[in-house]
Structure 1
């Protein structure tokens, strides 16, 4: 906020008559002017101090850090559509591709969400290397996987999410055939790694 200060360099000159030297200003007027200037400057510094006037956490939009900035809203949308917690959705993308939109696995999985061509043909639209398209397809696929594993009657929401993650990694057929998370070291490690990241790195996503 700007502070209006009287000109301290010319105190008292407004009453000087023609040809008369301007009287010397009172030192009190000069001191008051300097104090006003300092107060105004201090107010400006205070107003621009980082964090001084920011709304408290929870009063603003849902947070998406540390999700890369361009894709935060897409992650929240995929989580809302699929019913999977946002931290899990973000952690899964981290585990799948380390947020690299050009990632390609040895098995031919592509993009941020690592879709193989057959699965992309069913759930994806456009280019699998387009991050926003990949996250949208991830949300669609996660929702479909939730529907598939409900036949196993998961006892808790956490168990349901673990089954969905296992189905994403090993395929829904393997999960249904084993009646739960398959006894594959890769799949069990995949679920555990996503859970750990969701509880730490991505714990505040969507909070």
Structure 2
């Protein structure tokens, strides 16, 4: 289990980005279509005072070193992470329909805050929940980034159905896995199966679900990145 971590402090820019997205999304339907599956993605972005991997996750590029922000990765299973209860809009989040455009804008802001490529975080969200903030898996994972209850509690999430908390948690946990393993394939495998499983097997665990998950996210990441380049 990861070392205890306190709630994150409010980040004004994050709320600004969300507010802007909300006003810009007034004509967006509340249940937008999910992007086509089977895409992939490269690159990591830059975070505050730290470089991030930017090359596509080929076998070599997936090991692109990204300066660690000073936190060691730790270990709850897959969909688990560390968010800030302080980032929750005191009950307001529950009353929003959260249009896809708003969620994508929020995901981009959260990704940049944690030194992640927005295309990567969006790929993980697509693979985990298909952008459904209320998604629940048979195993009990909840929300956009499918946080397991124990993981959410350990990392300070008070409401995993709150997209703000869920995204912050998922992004922070994913970043920690990359800082721990220095390889995006391994980081994604750790997000899905847990860091202990990655360490125990000395690489991506031989679990069909985990291997399929890693490949799916990499494909989605590549597709997201390609679309960004064309824009």
TM class by smaller structure: 0.5 to 0.7
Picking from 68, 72, 75, the partner of 2:104 is 72
TM-score (norm 2): 0.52
1:181 to 204, 207, 218: 204
Q: Choose 1 or 2 for highest CA Rg.
A: 1
Is residue 132 of structure 2 the alignment partner of residue 138 of structure 1?
Answer: no
Q: Aligned match of 1:98 in 127, 130, 137? A: 130
Q: Using CA pairs below 8 Å that are at least 6 residues apart, which structure has the higher relative contact order? A: 2
Q: Is the 8 A contact 1:123 1:141 kept in 2?
A: no
Structure 2 residues not aligned, in runs of 5+: 1-98
Q: How does 1:100-179 map to 2 (within 5 A)?
A: 100-150=132-182, 160-179=183-202
- Offset from partner CA, 1:125-177 (integer Å, 9 cap, x none): 33101112111111111122123224xxxxxxxxx111110000000000011
CA distance in 2, matches of 1:187, 1:118: 20
Change (3 A) 1:120 1:203: farther
- 1:78: Cα distance to partner? 2.8
Higher helix share: 1
TM-score norm. by structure 1 comes to 0.58
Residues 205 and 102 of structure 1: is their aligned pair in 2 closer, same or farther, counting only changes over 3 Å? farther
Structure 1 gap segments, 5+ residues each: 1-66, 151-159
RMSD across aligned positions (CA): 2.1
Aligned residue-pair number: 132
